[in-house]
Homo-oligomer: A and B are copies of this chain.
C-alpha cells in the first residue's frame, strides 16, 4: 500500500523537511526558521509554503514546534513509552492532514527529564534495525540525552547541558581566550575525558586557566581539553564501561562522544540521525493509518 507524506523536524534554531514515499526520502528542504525565528506566529503559512514546495501531502511534525514556545503544545507522553503511544496521542491540527508528535516526560521527581523530537529518532533507530530494542543511546547536542531503550520502549532518560555549558564558557567566561580553537579528538581531549573521572569538574575547569598561566598546556589545546572535560563528565555519568553505546549524531560531535565512550571502556556505535528520523516518522505515520 503506497504512502506519501511530509515529515518536519522543527527545532529551536532550524527546520528540516522531508517528502517521504514508502519510507524513502524523495525531496528535502532546510532553513533556519526554527521556533525562535517563528516567534509564535505564521505556522499555517509556513506549512502551506512547505506543501507548495514538496507536495500537497499530509504533514507530521516533530520537535520544539510542539512545545509551549512553538505552534501548539502537544502534552508529554509519560515514559516508558512506545511508538504506538505517540501515534495515539498525536496533536491533530487538521484532522488526518497535519499533526504534531508529542514529546516524552520521565516523571521521576528525583531526576525528571523531558524530550521533544529525540523520541522520533529513537524509535526510528530501532525500527530501521540500527539499534537493538534494548540498548543505551546518546543524542549529543546543546543538550545531550542518555536513553535506555527497553524492549522497544523509551525508558529512563536524562539530559545533560554539555553543549550549552561549553558555549557559555567559550563565549562568556574567564576561559574564553583559551576556547576559540576547533575541537578534535587527540591527547588533550582524552586527558580531559580522564580528568573528568578523577577531579571535581568545577576545579578541573579552572585548572585549564592555571595550566595556561603556568605553561603546562598550550592555549591552543584548551578547547580540546575543556570539551574533553565536559563530554567526559557527561559520558562518565552514564556508566558506559562494558556496554554498547549507540551515538545518534553527526560525525563531528558524535566522533567526540565515540572517543569518550572508548576511553571509558564502552563500545560506541555511531548512528545516522537522518536515517533514524525518517524511519521514526515513517513508523509513526504507519501507526495512524
A contact residues vs B (CB 8 Å cutoff): 76, 105-107, 109-114, 143, 146, 158-162, 164-165, 168-169, 171-174, 195, 199-207, 209-211, 213-214, 216, 230, 233-234, 236-237
* A230 surroundings in chain B (CB, below 8 A): 202
Q: Give the shortest distance, in Å, between A214 (CB) and chain B (any CB).
A: 5
* A213 surroundings in chain B (CB, below 8 A): 105, 114
Q: Given A162-B202, A202-B162 in contact, is the A105-B214 Cβ separation under 8 Å?
A: yes
Complex: how many Å from CA A237 to CA B206? 14
Complex: how many Å from CA A204 to CA B236? 14
Contact yes or no, A202 B112, CB < 8 A: no
Residue of B nearest to A146 (CB): B203
| Choice from B110, B114, B214, B234 contacting A202 with Cβ under 8 Å | B234
Most interface-central of A106, A209, A230 (chain B CB within 10 A)? A209
Residue of B nearest to A211 (CB): B112
| Choice from B114, B158, B205, B216 contacting A161 with Cβ under 8 Å | B205
Q: Given A111-B207, A112-B216, A114-B213 in contact, is the A202-B160 Cβ separation under 8 Å?
A: yes
* A158 surroundings in chain B (CB, below 8 A): 200, 203, 206-207
Query: How many protomers of this protein does the assembly include?
Result: 2
* A172 surroundings in chain B (CB, below 8 A): 168, 171-172
Given contact pairs A112-B216, A165-B202, A168-B169, enumerate 9 new A-B contacts (beta carbons under 8 Å).
Answer: A105-B214, A111-B207, A113-B206, A114-B214, A143-B174, A146-B203, A160-B200, A168-B168, A199-B237
Contact yes or no, B214 A161, CB < 8 A: no
Most interface-central of A146, A159, A203, A204 (chain B CB within 10 A)? A203
* A146 surroundings in chain B (CB, below 8 A): 203
Chain A to chain B contacts (Cβ below 8 Å), 15 pairs: A76-B214, A105-B210, A105-B214, A113-B203, A114-B210, A114-B213, A158-B206, A159-B210, A161-B174, A161-B203, A161-B206, A168-B169, A171-B172, A200-B236, A202-B233
Q: Give the shortest distance, in Å, between A219 (CB) and chain B (any CB).
A: 14
* A168 surroundings in chain B (CB, below 8 A): 168-169, 172-173
